[in-house]
């Protein structure tokens, strides 16, 4: 009976071969070919020049992921302690922004962070800027916020925070409460309960949250263009530029994509190994 | 065990929600703004909603977004459920391999998925083209289309592809939880295979299917990057439209559409949640008082009201789709012409006039710069009939055999074009082009923010106004600023000189001279006083000065660039005749006058250019400032100080690309 079921997957297996596997193979082929069509490794030779971009992208994405984790974990944890009604409403409220396209949300930040934007207007009204000027002896009219790496990180945190909260929350909320009670009965205080029971058990959620925030952060190009002003190029911008942007060179673009993909996969594998180790340690 | 959250904890959670929602509420508030600013409140109005409903581009993209999301969700849910069942029935080893492949689109960066699919589609279309040609050649029964392009179909395929894994992800656990003997039992009891599926499997995994569908829909609606690479030029999702707009002037219509979307979603969620809450209460009550009220509860649960919200939601969604379909689909089946031009570069009423006059529907798109247009054409993402590149890009396109020769018999208005704009170096025999506009590049600055009038390109590289300077975001113009300042020929092929110019730019960038690299975003930044100085085109300056009279324009003393943008038809364009009709229409004197009045770029149409001051006086009842006219259509004396960009040899173009990428780093 069961083997009969497997036939259902045949159409999708063909679909995957066509639209998942073949495109990726094509990226690999492009990465190893020259503009004229022959085999070459030259596309990777340029990677040295782009090291700065790789470094910057990974740095910003790591910062954004850590901030998301620092905000997302406590929020998930606290939410799981509230009543079911609150939990449901909170979940909906966290999902809701995702139903507006992320570009709309990012666009809104543009007008908030501009030099003459809403935040600077607010700072001016409450006298923060004159206070800053008198304390530091400067003469600024506004805080420079847009077109900085800070703004880009903010955009990443803002857009991807739900991706951190959702998996962590769904793991914590399903934790076996009796485990916690058992720990308490065995004399653990609340810090220990959290550190030795809740935290290790919620690790799978944390790991998937980290992946879901880190991958889009490291490869974004719209956020860095809109909030970063294009002065600090990220990997996504670099790739986009080679395909649809101002410096057409799909072979180099494919090579950069491939390198990024490989680095990300390695990170994930290492992280998941580390995660599995933790889980086993807990079991022991 | 439950320790309740402290007040501090609750404040923290509340702050996070404020953080998540403040930007959305600001968007909503400013959708009711009377002014066109997102930062200055000018009173309440509903103007933007009215404009939104008459804005065909936005309405069309809303329609595309909804349609692709709904179709992709339905198809992916269906396919994903079957795939999950299939995976479930497989041996472990095989299943693990397939699950890994299935996870690729979820784990991979969106941009890689998008780029990979874009490459795949283009490669497939090439192969298909060759096959169709051969196939049509050997038989005459069936005629296969030889030319496929990216569009709604590829967009849908891409969305389905990244949606299915989410469905599988949420259906698979439900299958694993299902008691394996259930199906066998059902079949033992005489169910056919299909019945077992419908009556046993499906109810068991239904929650998984529903949540999978919901995730898929969310991902589709939220997606931008994959759509961006796979939608081609003929269809555009809302996100793509917004992205295009953020590169020029953003209209608050975007706020209005955000508000509508937000409220619709909120309404749907409230309805479904009230329903869920009610059911939960029922459940609770039933558990507390077992026997007596069970019947009552059952009666309560079976009341038709519990179905109503679902129907309402479905009906609402259907009505919305229908409504937008009717609005967007009115023009299906009519001849079309696909045009790619620059942002803020046409009086849009001309499009309506043309459509009414000829019955040809215009699909009007914009690209950011000549270089970006070239990428769009080369990568296969842009499928246009008419493009409006600048001089040097035209020569490059001609050189690469990407343009079609025009049939000037279909373009009688070409005769109205002034002789000085014919047979220019980029098209010496004038076989491919009809000029659209011409103008100069200069420095625009805010007189209230600079100490003294700007006269030299030096200001683009000195620390004097560091942090308030805007530089071009395209290699040719940016390098030209540096080459002019250094006193080199702007068309130089001397690698040393180009390197020097590049170093000048990079050094300035590293010293923080540039606030950002911009194209049409310059409008907002200079008009709003967010930057003091920027190099840009004269016509755009005249548009900006209408909104901020403090702005001034100068052609620096070292000289500058003058350019001609001309309309061309792409090789093998599917709508060549429609394209020539469009070109002819735009070359007419009336269209040129309307365009000049709207975009402030000078017309190559002799008659239109000469009569523009009178036209202006007639329209506005006041004389056109001769200084304005001089900036718009500079005299030969000024043009003599300026140079036309010429096409560069291929290796120099590669150098430009490499340097440009390096500068971005």
B238–A101 CB contact, under 8 Å: yes
Q: Which residue of B has its CA nearest to A24?
A: B116
CA distance A228 to chain B (A): 8
Q: What is the mean pLDDT of the segment spanning B502-508?
A: 95
CA distance B100 to chain A (A): 11
B517–A257 CB contact, under 8 Å: no
Q: What is the mean pLDDT of the segment spanning B436-458?
A: 94
CA distance A204 to chain B (A): 15
Q: Cα(B37)–Cα(B262) distance, rounded to whole angstroms?
A: 20
Strands B551-554 and B469-472: unpaired
Q: In degrees, to the nearest 5, what angle opens at C-alpha B10 toward C-alphas B6 and B15?
A: 145
Strands B514-518 and B469-472: parallel
- The separation between CA B559 and the C-alpha centre of its own chain, rounded to angstroms, equals 35
CA distance A94 to chain B (A): 8
Find chain A residues with C-beta within 8 A of B26's C-beta.
108, 111-112, 118
CA B28, B34, B37, B40: dihedral to nearest 10 degrees? -90
Find chain B residues with C-beta within 8 A of A232's C-beta.
none
| pLDDT of B289 strictly over 70 | no
Q: Cα(A262)–Cα(B120) distance, rounded to whole angstroms?
A: 20
Q: Work out the burial of residue B179: count CB atoms within 10 Å of its CB; fewer than 13 is exposed, 13-18 middle, 19 or more buried.
A: exposed
Task: Name the pLDDT band for B562 (thresholds 50, 70, 90).
Answer: very high
Give the whole-number percent of chain B exceeding pLDDT 90. 58
A7–B375 CB contact, under 8 Å: no
Instruction: Tell me the DSSP string of B567-632.
Output: EEEETT-TTHHHHHHHHHHHHSHHHHHHHHHHH-PBPSBHHHHHHHHHHHHHHHSSPPPHHHHHHH
Give per-residue pLDDT as tens, B153-163: 999 999 999 99
Q: Considering only residues 522 to 551 of chain B, which have any Cβ-Cβ distance to chain A shorter than 8 Å?
A: 528-530
- Quote the pLDDT of residue B225: 93
Q: Considering only residues 107 to 166 of chain B, which have any Cβ-Cβ distance to chain A shorter than 8 Å?
A: 107-113, 115-120, 123, 157-158, 161, 164
Closest partner residue to A105 (CB to CB) among B23, B246, B378 is: B23
Strands B560-570 and B642-643: parallel
Q: Which residue of B has its CA nearest to A53?
A: B665
Interface size between A and B, measured as CB pairs under 8 A = 320
CA distance B606 to chain A (A): 34
Q: What is the mean pLDDT of the segment spanning B49-65?
A: 88
Does the residue B662 lie in any domain? Answer: no
Give per-residue pLDDT as tens, B79-91: 999 999 999 888 8
| pLDDT of B407 strictly over 90 | yes
Q: Considering only residues 47 to 66 of chain B, which have any Cβ-Cβ distance to chain A shorter than 8 Å?
A: 65
Domain segments of chain A as ranges: 32-283
Judge whether B134 and B214 are in contact, CB under 8 Å.
Answer: no
Q: What is the mean pLDDT of the segment spanning A33-37?
A: 86
Residue B580 vs residue A127, higher pLDDT? B580
Q: Cα(B53)–Cα(B500) distance, rounded to whole angstroms?
A: 51
Give per-residue pLDDT as tens, B611-635: 999 999 999 999 999 999 999 999 9
B24, β-bridge pairs: none
Q: Which residue of A has its CA nearest to B121?
A: A23
- Asked if the ipTM is above 0.85, the reply is yes
Q: Give kind and range of the element (H or E) at residue B446.
A: strand B434-446
B239–A82 CB contact, under 8 Å: no
- Quote the pLDDT of residue B320: 66
- Quote the pLDDT of residue B311: 64
CATH 1.10.3720.10 corresponds to the domain A32-283: yes
Q: Considering only residues 478 to 517 of chain B, which have any Cβ-Cβ distance to chain A shorter than 8 Å?
A: 509, 514-517
Residue B266: name the closest of A95, A263, A34 by CA.
A95
- Quote the pLDDT of residue A284: 30
Closest partner residue to B374 (CB to CB) among A215, A229, A248 is: A248
- Quote the pLDDT of residue B488: 95
Closest partner residue to A52 (CB to CB) among B120, B280, B665 is: B665
Find chain B residues with C-beta within 8 A of A82's C-beta.
5
Query: Tokens at residue A134, please?
Result: 């008198």
Can you give the length of chain A in residues? 284
The count of domains in chain B is 1
Q: Cα(B434)–Cα(B568) distance, rounded to whole angstroms?
A: 7
Residue A18 vs residue B379, higher pLDDT? A18
| pLDDT of B421 strictly over 90 | yes
Judge whether B26 and A108 are in contact, CB under 8 Å.
Answer: yes
- Quote the pLDDT of residue B300: 47
| pLDDT of B299 strictly over 80 | no
Does the residue B622 lie in any domain? Answer: no
Residue B438 contacts A where some CB pair is shorter than 8 Å: no
Q: Considering only residues 596 to 635 of chain B, which have any Cβ-Cβ distance to chain A shorter than 8 Å?
A: none
Find chain B residues with C-beta within 8 A of A259's C-beta.
none
A236–B111 CB contact, under 8 Å: yes
Residue A168: name the closest of A129, A142, A207 by CA.
A207
| pLDDT of A178 strictly over 70 | yes
- Quote the pLDDT of residue B305: 44
Residue B586: name the closest of B567, B611, B564 by CA.
B567
Q: What is the mean pLDDT of the segment spanning A252-260?
A: 94
Q: Which residue of A has its CA nearest to B223?
A: A101
Q: Give kind and range of the element (H or E) at residue B326.
A: helix B308-329
- Mean pLDDT of chain B, nearest integer: 88
Give the whole-number percent of chain B exceeding pLDDT 70. 92
B24–A85 CB contact, under 8 Å: no
| pLDDT of B303 strictly over 50 | no
Q: Cα(A143)–Cα(A124) distance, rounded to whole angstroms?
A: 10
Task: Name the pLDDT band for A222 (thresholds 50, 70, 90).
Answer: confident
3-state secondary structure A116-136: CCHHHHHHHHCCHHHHHHHHH
Residue B462 contacts A where some CB pair is shorter than 8 Å: no
Find chain B residues with C-beta within 8 A of A124's C-beta.
none
Q: Cα(A191)–Cα(A203) distance, rounded to whole angstroms?
A: 17
**Conformation bin of residue B599: beta by default, left when phi > 0, alpha when psi is -120 to 50:** alpha
CA distance A157 to chain B (A): 10
Q: Give kind and range of the element (H or E) at residue B386.
A: strand B386-387
A92–B273 CB contact, under 8 Å: yes
Interface test with B, best of A77, A125, A243, A254 (most B CBs within 10 A): A243
| pLDDT of A119 strictly over 80 | yes
| pLDDT of B322 strictly over 60 | yes
| pLDDT of B515 strictly over 80 | yes
Give per-residue pLDDT as tens, B211-270: 899 889 989 988 999 999 999 887 889 888 888 887 766 788 888 988 988 888 888 878
Find chain A residues with C-beta within 8 A of B178's C-beta.
none
Return the top range by mean pLDDT from A225-234, B54-63, B169-178, B301-310.
Answer: B169-178
- The separation between CA B425 and the C-alpha centre of its own chain, rounded to angstroms, equals 33
- Mean pLDDT of chain A, nearest integer: 87
Task: Name the pLDDT band for B304 (thresholds 50, 70, 90).
Answer: very low
Does the residue B124 lie in any domain? Answer: yes
Question: In 3-state terms, what secondary structure has residue B54?
Answer: helix
Q: What is the mean pLDDT of the segment spanning B630-657?
A: 92
- Quote the pLDDT of residue B329: 55
Give per-residue pLDDT as tens, B363-377: 888 888 899 999 999
Dihedral sign for Cα A10, A13, A15, A18, please. negative
Task: Name the pLDDT band for B324 (thresholds 50, 70, 90).
Answer: low
| pLDDT of A220 strictly over 80 | yes
pTM for this structure?
0.88
- Quote the pLDDT of residue B288: 65
Q: Cα(B520)–Cα(B532) distance, rounded to whole angstroms?
A: 15
Question: In 3-state terms, what secondary structure has residue B29?
Answer: helix
- Quote the pLDDT of residue A247: 86
Residue A252 vs residue B295, higher pLDDT? A252
B530–A177 CB contact, under 8 Å: no
How would you label B600-616 residue by residue, b for 16+ Cβ within 10 Å and e otherwise? bbbbbbbebbeebeebb
Residue A240 vs residue B183, higher pLDDT? A240
B115–A253 CB contact, under 8 Å: yes
Q: Considering only residues 150 to 189 of chain A, which have any Cβ-Cβ distance to chain B shorter than 8 Å?
A: 158, 161-162, 177, 180-181, 184
Owning domain of residue B104 = 52-251
Does the residue B500 lie in any domain? Answer: no
A12–B665 CB contact, under 8 Å: no
Can you give the length of chain B in residues? 665
Q: Cα(B330)–Cα(B313) distance, rounded to whole angstroms?
A: 26
| pLDDT of B291 strictly over 80 | no
3-state secondary structure A56-101: HHHHHHHHHHHHHHHHHHHHHHHHHHCCHHHHHHHHHHHHHHHHCC
- The enclosing domain of B226 has a CATH number of 1.10.3720.10
- Quote the pLDDT of residue A2: 55
| pLDDT of B26 strictly over 80 | yes
Task: Name the pLDDT band for A276 (thresholds 50, 70, 90).
Answer: low
B115–A27 CB contact, under 8 Å: yes
Return the top range by mean pLDDT from A104-108, A143-147, B40-44, B483-487.
Answer: B483-487
Residue B340 is classified by DSSP as: E
């Amino acid at each position: 009976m069961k083997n009969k079921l497997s036939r259902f997957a045949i159409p999708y297996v063909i679909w995957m071969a066509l639209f998942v596997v073949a495109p990726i193979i094509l990226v690999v082929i492009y990465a190893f070919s020259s503009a004229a069509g022959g085999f070459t490794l030259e596309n990777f030779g340029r990677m040295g020049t782009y090291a700065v971009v790789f470094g910057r992208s990974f740095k910003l994405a790591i910062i954004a992921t850590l901030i998301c984790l620092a905000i997302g974990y406590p929020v998930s944890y606290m939410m799981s302690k509230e009543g079911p009604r609150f939990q449901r409403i909170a979940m909906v409220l966290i999902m809701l922004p995702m139903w507006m396209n992320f570009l709309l949300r990012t666009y809104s930040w543009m007008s908030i962070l501009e030099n003459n934007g809403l935040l600077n207007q607010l700072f001016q009204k409450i006298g923060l800027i004159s206070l800053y000027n008198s304390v530091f002896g400067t003469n600024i009219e506004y805080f420079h916020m847009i077109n900085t790496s800070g703004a880009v990180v903010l955009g990443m945190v803002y857009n991807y925070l739900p991706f951190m909260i959702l998996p962590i929350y769904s793991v914590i909320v399903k934790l076996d409460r009796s485990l916690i009670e058992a720990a308490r009965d065995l004399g653990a205080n609340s810090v220990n309960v959290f550190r030795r029971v809740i935290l290790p058990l919620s690790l799978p959620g944390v790991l998937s949250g980290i992946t879901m925030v880190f991958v889009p952060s490291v490869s974004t190009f719209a956020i860095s263009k809109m909030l970063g002003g294009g002065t600090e190029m990220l990997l996504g911008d670099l790739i986009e530029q080679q395909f649809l942007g101002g410096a057409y060179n799909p072979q180099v673009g494919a090579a950069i994509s491939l390198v990024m993909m490989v680095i990300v996969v390695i990170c994930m594998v290492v992280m998941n190994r580390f995660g599995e180790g933790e889980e086993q340690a807990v079991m022991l | 065990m439950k320790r309740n959250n402290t007040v501090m904890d609750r404040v923290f959670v509340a702050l996070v929600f404020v953080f998540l929602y403040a930007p959305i509420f600001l968007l909503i508030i400013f959708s009711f703004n009377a002014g066109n600013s997102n930062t200055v409140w000018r009173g309440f109005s509903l103007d933007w909603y009215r404009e939104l409903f008459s804005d065909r581009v936005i309405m069309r993209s809303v329609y595309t977004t909804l349609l692709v999301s709904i179709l992709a969700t339905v198809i992916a849910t269906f396919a994903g459920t079957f795939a999950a069942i299939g995976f479930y029935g497989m041996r472990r080893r095989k299943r693990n391999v397939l699950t890994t492949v299935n996870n690729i689109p979820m784990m991979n960066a969106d941009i890689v998925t998008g780029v990979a699919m874009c490459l795949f589609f283009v490669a497939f279309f090439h192969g298909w083209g060759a096959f169709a040609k051969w196939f049509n050649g050997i038989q005459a029964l069936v005629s296969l289309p030889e030319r496929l392009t990216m569009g709604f179909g590829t967009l849908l395929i891409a969305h389905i592809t990244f949606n299915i894994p989410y469905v599988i992800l949420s259906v698979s656990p439900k299958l694993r939880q299902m008691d394996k003997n259930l199906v066998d039992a059902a079949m033992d009891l005489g169910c056919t295979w299909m019945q077992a599926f419908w009556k046993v499997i499906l109810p068991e995994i239904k929650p998984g299917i529903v949540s999978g569908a919901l995730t898929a829909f969310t991902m589709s609606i939220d997606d931008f990057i994959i759509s961006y690479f796979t939608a081609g030029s003929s269809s555009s999702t809302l996100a793509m439209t917004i992205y295009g707009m953020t590169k020029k002037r953003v209209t608050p219509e975007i706020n209005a559409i955000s508000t509508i979307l937000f409220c619709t979603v909120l309404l749907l969620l409230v309805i479904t949640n009230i329903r869920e809450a009610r059911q939960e209460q029922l459940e609770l009550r039933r558990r507390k008082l077992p026997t007596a009220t069970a019947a009552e509860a059952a009666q309560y649960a079976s009341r038709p009201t519990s179905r109503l919200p679902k129907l309402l939601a479905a009906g609402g969604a259907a009505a919305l789709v229908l409504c937008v379909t009717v609005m967007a689909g009115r023009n299906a089946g009519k001849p079309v012409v696909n045009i790619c031009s620059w942002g803020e570069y046409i009086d849009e009423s001309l499009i309506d006039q043309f459509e009414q006059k000829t019955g040809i529907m215009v699909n009007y798109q914009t690209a950011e710069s000549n270089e970006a247009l070239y990428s769009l054409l080369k990568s296969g993402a842009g499928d246009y009939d008419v493009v409006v590149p600048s001089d040097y890009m035209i020569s490059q396109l001609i050189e690469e055999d990407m343009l079609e020769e025009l049939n000037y018999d279909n373009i009688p208005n070409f005769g109205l074009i002034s002789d000085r704009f014919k047979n220019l170096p980029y098209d010496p025999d004038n076989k491919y082009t009809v000029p659209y506009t011409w103008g100069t590049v200069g420095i625009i600055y805010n007189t209230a923010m600079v100490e003294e009038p700007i006269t030299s390109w030096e200001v683009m590289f000195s620390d004097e106004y560091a942090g308030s300077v805007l530089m071009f975001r395209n290699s040719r113009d940016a390098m030209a600023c540096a080459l002019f300042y250094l006193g080199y020929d702007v068309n130089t092929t001397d690698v040393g000189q180009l390197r020097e110019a590049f170093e000048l730019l990079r050094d300035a960038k590293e010293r923080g001279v540039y606030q950002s690299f911009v194209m049409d975003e310059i409008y907002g930044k200079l008009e709003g006083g967010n930057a003091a100085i920027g190099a840009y085109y004269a016509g755009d300056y005249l548009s900006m000065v209408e909104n901020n009279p403090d702005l001034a324009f100068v052609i620096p003393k070292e000289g500058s660039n003058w350019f001609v943008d001309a309309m061309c038809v792409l090789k093998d364009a599917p709508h060549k005749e429609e394209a020539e009709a469009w070109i002819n229409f735009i070359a007419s004197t009336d269209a040129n006058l309307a365009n000049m009045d709207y975009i402030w770029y000078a017309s190559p149409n002799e008659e239109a250019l000469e009569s523009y001051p009178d036209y202006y006086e007639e329209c506005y009842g006041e004389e056109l400032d001769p200084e304005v006219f001089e900036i718009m259509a500079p005299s030969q004396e000024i043009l003599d100080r300026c140079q036309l960009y010429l096409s560069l040899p291929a290796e120099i173009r590669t150098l430009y690309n490499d340097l440009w990428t390096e500068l971005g780093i």
